[in-house]
Amino acid sequence: MSKFVIRKVSSGVMFNLKAGNGQVIATSEIYSNESACRKGIESVVKNAPDAKVEDQTEEGFKSISNPKFEVYKDKAGEFRFRLKAKNGENIAASEGYKAKASCMNGIESVKKNAPKAEIVEE
């Protein structure tokens, strides 16, 4: 069963979306309080299933409207994605992947798992 895990960190509160196997598939920013963090989770649940994918690693990619998953390469040359809400705010981000296909699988996992994930506190 997938779950959003809310945890306190030194500078606030954040969440990780974990797949049924316990792997972290998306991470939030750090929020100032738990209420804001829970709103971030609501936004992921609402936006992820229908978000289109904008592949910024392709030359001449076309910008699409939010909500969307942006696929990009980081400074280390790894593939990552970030989920942007309708208002353009980043609401979740991935780890780095060596292969683009793995990154795309991560997006599909968020789309599939977020809507039915339970919320737990760590």
Model confidence at 48, pLDDT cuts 50, 70, 90, reads very high
Q: Which among 28, 83, 78, 86 has a CA at the least distance from the CA of 57?
A: 78
Span 15-29, pLDDT tens digits: 999 999 999 999 999
Q: Which of 15, 70, 63, 21 is nearest to 43 (CA)?
A: 15
DSSP-assigned states of every residue in 14-44? EEEEE-TTS-EEEE---BSSHHHHHHHHHHH
- Nearest-angstrom CA–CA distance, 120 and 114: 13
Q: What is the DSSP letter of 115?
A: G
pLDDT tens-place string over residues 66-86: 999 999 999 999 999 999 999
> What is the C-alpha to C-alpha distance for residues 119 and 65, in angstroms, rounded to an integer?
28
What is the pLDDT at residue 19? 94
Q: How confident is the model at residue 47 (pLDDT cuts 50, 70, 90)?
A: very high
Whole-number mean pLDDT of the chain?
97
Q: How many CB atoms lie within 10 A of CB 28?
A: 23
Confidence of residue 120 (pLDDT cuts 50, 70, 90): very high
The helix (run of H) or strand (run of E) holding residue 109 is helix 100-113
pLDDT tens figures, 86-115: 999 999 999 999 999 999 999 999 999 999
